[in-house]
Amino acid sequence: MDENAVARFRSKIVAGPEAHDCWIWTGAIGDDGYGRFWTPTPDGGQRMIRAHRYALALLTGSLDDLDELHVCHVCDNPICVRAEDNPTSHLYAGTAFDNMADRAARGHHNQQPAAAFFRHETKQERAHKARVLRDHVRVHGYDPEAVATLLRGVMSGQQALF
Residue-level pLDDT at 55:
96
- pLDDT tens track for 80-105: 999 999 989 999 998 888 877 877 77
- Give the number of C-alpha atoms closer than 13 A to the C-alpha of residue 22, restricted to the C-beta side: 28
Q: Are strands 91-94 and 70-73 parallel, antiparallel or unpaired?
A: antiparallel
Q: State the pTM of this model.
A: 0.81
Domain range summary for the chain, segments of one domain joined by +: 3-152
Helix, strand, or coil (residue 133):
helix
Helix, strand, or coil (residue 39):
strand
- pLDDT tens track for 111-162: 433 333 223 567 888 888 899 999 999 999 999 888 888 877 644 444 445 4
Q: CB–CB of 151/77 below 8 Å?
A: yes
